[in-house]
């Protein structure tokens, strides 16, 4: 299974997890080209629970034998991109930036035995 397939599988697992927790999925794989940056920002899942919109970054490791955990892959540069991309989605949907929203990280580890471990870090990234 290559990196893209692992990522897609992780997003499917995260989506089911969120639905089971009572979240409504609003959007998936939203991308936005950030001015002054050659790369685009992407948000894996946008969901809502109660009155809070969550922009969710999903990180998946298959057969994790590394010392780094999936959530540690969300570095400062990625955090800044997530904030700008979230703000872009809110503006596109005409939702005020001062409404209740947060950025979450869902870290998924899939072991050699296909056992899945999910960690959900709510409001993991401050709105820089």
Rounded distance, CA 86 to CA 32, Å? 9
Expressed as residue numbers, the domain containing 110 is 3-125
Chunk the chain into consecutive blocks of 10 residues (it has 128) and report each block's average pLDDT, rounded to whole numbers.
89 98 98 76 95 95 75 84 93 92 94 91 81
CATH of the domain at 68: 3.40.1350.10
Q: Using an 8 Å Cβ cutoff, are 54 and 44 in contact?
A: no
Q: Which residues contact 88 (CB under 8 A, 6 or more apart)?
A: 32, 41
Rounded distance, CA 39 to CA 35, Å? 9
For tokens 């298959």, the residue is 62
Q: Which residues contact 78 (CB under 8 A, 6 or more apart)?
A: 57
Query: In the chain, how many domains are there?
Result: 1
pLDDT for 128:
52
* DSSP string for residues in 44-108: EEEEEETTEEEEEEEEEEES--SSS-GGGG--HHHHHHHHHHHHHHHHHTT--TTSSEEEEEEEE
Rounded distance, CA 20 to CA 80, Å? 29
What's the pTM?
Answer: 0.90
């Amino acid at each position: 299974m290559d990196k893209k397939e692992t990522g897609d599988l992780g997003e499917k697992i995260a989506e089911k997890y969120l639905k089971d927790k009572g979240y409504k999925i609003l959007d998936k794989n939203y991308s936005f080209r950030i001015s002054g940056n050659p790369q685009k920002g992407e948000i894996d899942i946008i969901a809502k629970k109660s009155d809070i919109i969550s922009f969710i970054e999903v990180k998946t490791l298959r057969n994790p034998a590394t010392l780094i955990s999936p959530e540690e892959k969300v570095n400062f540069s990625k955090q800044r991109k997530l904030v700008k991309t979230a703000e872009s989605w809110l503006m596109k949907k005409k939702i005020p930036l001062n409404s209740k929203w947060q950025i979450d990280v869902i870290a998924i580890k899939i072991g050699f035995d296909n056992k899945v471990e999910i960690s959900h870090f709510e409001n993991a990234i401050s709105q820089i």
